[in-house]
Amino acid sequence: MTSFLPDPYDRDCPTRQLLDRIGDQWTVLIVGTLGGGPLRFTEIGRRVQGISQKMLTQTLRALVRDGILERRMYAEIPPRVEYELTDLGRDLAEPLSMLAEWAKAHMGRVQEARESYDRAS
Amino acid sequence: MTSFLPDPYDRDCPTRQLLDRIGDQWTVLIVGTLGGGPLRFTEIGRRVQGISQKMLTQTLRALVRDGILERRMYAEIPPRVEYELTDLGRDLAEPLSMLAEWAKAHMGRVQEARESYDRAS
């Protein structure tokens, strides 16, 4: 077994693809909204405005596969399915919330920069 | 003028699109590598393995427009063009490096989760 130092700058390193997944806007918003506790599929879709059913299904499945979310089915009639953060997911929630906070805090400066750029072009 | 609370959960809020830009894998890698100081186009492309010329050009232009990078041209022969982080970009570098560090630190756990998921499916 060769030693392995993860390096997302290496195109063949799996961290590259992981980085793409965790930085995805849907991941940021879904993990963020599950920070308050487990939610059903429809409730997640209601909170993350504008996500399609297909994208929500795909993203949730990928996050469950990555060990970031857990899917729990309760044997009720009708069956209740909820998604919640795993320990790994809770650990990810912190850097992701920093990213969302950054976007909220600096949107004004970014918009000024864009207007200035567009005027100069 | 109406008051405006940025909210990336709102599909019409510009923070949604900004979040998509800053969480992009290419942004994370480019901003990360420029943390060490200004670099030329070709050097950035060399470090961020696997990025196409077209994607590098597009991403750099978008980051300059957003006020995250500055493009400096030096009147030399041949002209030298360098990209460097602005103050806003340096401020963004911190949450982005946390994201990259998270991916590096937890890749092993994510891979175990994937293997376990795939065995169960």
Query: Which candidate from A27, A33, A107 shows the least CB-CB separation from B14?
Result: A107
pLDDT at B2 over 60: no
- The number of beta carbons lying within 10 Å of the beta carbon of residue A66 is 23
Nearest chain A residue (CA) to B107? A15
Reduced to 3 states (helix: H, G, I; strand: E, B; else coil), residue B84 is strand
pLDDT band at B107 (very low <50, low <70, confident <90, very high): very high
pLDDT band at B1 (very low <50, low <70, confident <90, very high): very low
Write the pLDDT tens digit of every residue in B42-52: 999 999 999 99
Inter-chain contact B28–A48, Cβ cutoff 8 Å?
Answer: no
Give the type of residue at B18. L
Torsion of CA A101, A39, B20, A118, to 10 degrees: -70
Query: Which candidate from A7, A23, A109 shows the least CB-CB separation from B88?
Result: A109
Query: Domains, chain A, ranges and CATH?
Result: 14-120 (1.10.10.10)
Inter-chain contact B65–A19, Cβ cutoff 8 Å?
Answer: no
Q: Which residue from A24, A92, A69 is spatially nearest to B113, judged by alpha carbons?
A: A69
φ/ψ of B96, rounded to 5, equals -70, -35
| Cβ neighbours of B113 in A, within 8 Å | 65-68, 88
**Is the dihedral angle over the CA atoms B8, A45, A22, A24 positive or is it negative?**
negative
Instruction: Classify B114 in phi/psi space as left (phi over 0), alpha (psi -120 to 50) or beta.
Output: alpha
pLDDT at B5: 82
Structure token pair of residue A87: 């320990």
Inter-chain contact B20–A25, Cβ cutoff 8 Å?
Answer: yes
pLDDT < 70 positions in chain A: 1-4
Task: Tell me the C-alpha distance between B68 and A113, whole Å.
Answer: 9
Write the pLDDT tens digit of every residue in B70-106: 999 999 998 899 999 999 999 999 999 999 999 999 9
